[in-house]
Chain A
């Protein structure tokens, strides 16, 4: 992966001036490359990684394994595209193995998610079965630990 993309994935808030210093290039060059990535759809957006457990939201998140019948034309794509358009669906992946699609779903409470599964997802034509797992606690998300692990105990000066 391009170094600029790697740096943005670590910290999307980094200024073009600082990115330029890290990459030994000019800020104009960085701005142009970012604009190109945005225009071509490589960069899909920028988000903060939030530890929701630290907020008093009581939101509910679930992982749903979905088994579907592939269509003769379009395979899994048509149905997957349809499912991914529901706002409740945060992420959706086509999987190998015992089920076909893995959906990450969020809602304000248990009923929200249960309602989405029973009324919307399970009733779609082509969905054979669903298996819902509710998440209890987040330890790590998108490569980021939710608890700071380590305090710097190095001596302040060393040879």
Chain B
């Protein structure tokens, strides 16, 4: 018999080199267990408000089953333009500066691919959302994580960015409020980072998917800083603000040249976002203010609760100012993050994502999502309290 002497992989080499997501590994372990109390979920526990769902049902009822314009429904783009102007203080033309995408995930991929050349460096604060590094690498760019730490509440400063700049630096990717740390950018840091971006001619991609969930301090977008609009790609969506993750709809706002470049990829790879989701998004923008305020209030109270409770059980935690994650320090319990999470799951059936899933600098932390019913949060925290006392008892 003759045959190939050794197996040749059919997978492209640049993909083979990218490690599996740490979240994926952990998910597979958790999904084999029953009755897990999970603080590991990165999406709202609310169901999409009824009037928004109903708008989608109404559209389906009336035969809205077609493609839309590549950029998205004109009515939606106009509503997005109004929303961004009102909420973030930047005006974008719905004709050629707004692109409706399949979630911010698609918008992020388009944005990076639209502006980087092979070898360019993409800088971002770490611990970070899991996609940033891989998306940069898919585009042939080099991810440059900037470590933020608990000692400063995971703050990102212009000095820290400056220290990571090289001649290849091309993109600064911001995600504030941050997943997984819940930190936000202050006005002062935003201005200083903006000045640095101008000085070094960086493109800024700002993923503000959690911006409506800002609990403390002033909400400010870098896109609104003078002379930033021309070099900024502003990304936002509906998933977190209106609990619409399954609708898969987001958007980008950027100057015409960049929007057009993103559009080139979008029209050939995605064509358009689903029409029923776009119809729901219009309803959210036009009639959804009260819903987002109501959900923000509930998240804020849970944030207060989990922050106090984590510190009470002896897991030091800075107060997260946004998003729906707490990122306590577990590094003095005698176990690395991953082992801590696995043992917590094994002994107490509570799932928290190890901090290392969000980059090496997440070591010593776990991510606790409070996009979960308060009763579950209470029970999970009580079990975590027992677990931490046992761990410390063993060690002492």
Interface of A is mostly: loop
A140 to chain B, nearest CB (A): 12
Q: Which segment, of A17-25, A64-72, A77-85, faces chain B?
A: A17-25
Q: Per a CB cutoff under 8 Å, which of A3, A155, A156, A159 touches B301?
A: A3
Most buried by B among A3, A154, A155, A159: A159
Q: Which segment, of B38-46, B67-75, B183-191, B192-200, faces chain A?
A: B38-46
B68 to chain A, nearest CB (A): 27
Assess the A155–B309 pair: CB atoms within 8 A.
no
Task: Give chain B interface residues in 280-321, CB to chain A under 8 Å.
Answer: 297, 301-302, 304-305, 308-309
Minimal Cβ-Cβ distance residue in B for A22: B301
Assess the A21–B351 pair: CB atoms within 8 A.
no
Q: Residues of B contacting A157 with CB < 8 Å? A: 23, 26-27, 30-31, 38, 40-41, 351, 353
B184 to chain A, nearest CB (A): 17
* Interface residues contributed by chain A, number (CB under 8 Å): 17
In the complex, whether A7 has a CB less than 8 A from a CB of chain B is yes
Task: Give chain A interface residues in 135-159, CB to chain B under 8 Å.
Answer: 149-150, 152, 154-159
Q: What CA separation (Å) do A152 and B308 show in the bound complex?
A: 26
* Interface residues contributed by chain B, number (CB under 8 Å): 30
Assess the A7–B301 pair: CB atoms within 8 A.
yes
Assess the A158–B43 pair: CB atoms within 8 A.
yes
Q: Residues of B contacting A23 with CB < 8 Å? A: 301, 304
Q: What CA separation (Å) do A157 and B378 show in the bound complex?
A: 18
Q: Residues of B contacting A18 with CB < 8 Å? A: 305, 378
Q: What CA separation (Å) do A154 and B31 show in the bound complex?
A: 11
Q: What CA separation (Å) do A157 and B301 show in the bound complex?
A: 23
Q: Per a CB cutoff under 8 Å, which of A21, A154, A158 touches B23?
A: A158
Q: Residues of B contacting A154 with CB < 8 Å? A: 41, 43, 45
Task: Give chain B interface residues in 1-51, CB to chain A under 8 Å.
Answer: 21, 23, 26-27, 30-31, 36, 38, 40-43, 45, 47
Minimal Cβ-Cβ distance residue in B for A6: B297
Most buried by B among A3, A23, A24, A157: A157
B105 to chain A, nearest CB (A): 10
Q: Residues of A contacting B38 with CB < 8 Å? A: 156-157
Assess the A156–B40 pair: CB atoms within 8 A.
yes
A10-21 to B contact mask, C-beta < 8 Å, 1/0: 000000001001
Minimal Cβ-Cβ distance residue in A for B294: A6
In the complex, whether B131 has a CB less than 8 A from a CB of chain A is yes
Q: What CA separation (Å) do A23 and B374 show in the bound complex?
A: 13
B238 to chain A, nearest CB (A): 16
Q: What CA separation (Å) do A154 and B371 show in the bound complex?
A: 11
Task: Give chain A interface residues in 19-41, CB to chain B under 8 Å.
Answer: 21-24
Q: What CA separation (Å) do A18 and B301 show in the bound complex?
A: 10
B151-191 to A contact mask, C-beta < 8 Å, 1/0: 00000000000000000000000000001000000000000
Assess the A158–B42 pair: CB atoms within 8 A.
yes
Contact of A158 with B40 at beta-carbon distance under 8 Å, contacts A149-B47, A152-B45 already known: yes
B276 to chain A, nearest CB (A): 19
Q: Per a CB cutoff under 8 Å, which of A6, A24, A155, A158 touches B308?
A: A24
Task: Given contact pairs A24-B304, A157-B351, A158-B40, enumerate 13 new A-B contacts (beta carbons under 8 Å).
Answer: A7-B301, A21-B305, A21-B309, A22-B374, A24-B308, A150-B47, A155-B41, A156-B27, A156-B30, A156-B31, A156-B38, A159-B130, A159-B357
Q: Closest 9 A-B residue pairs measured CB to CB? A: A157-B40, A157-B27, A22-B301, A21-B305, A24-B304, A158-B42, A21-B308, A156-B38, A159-B130
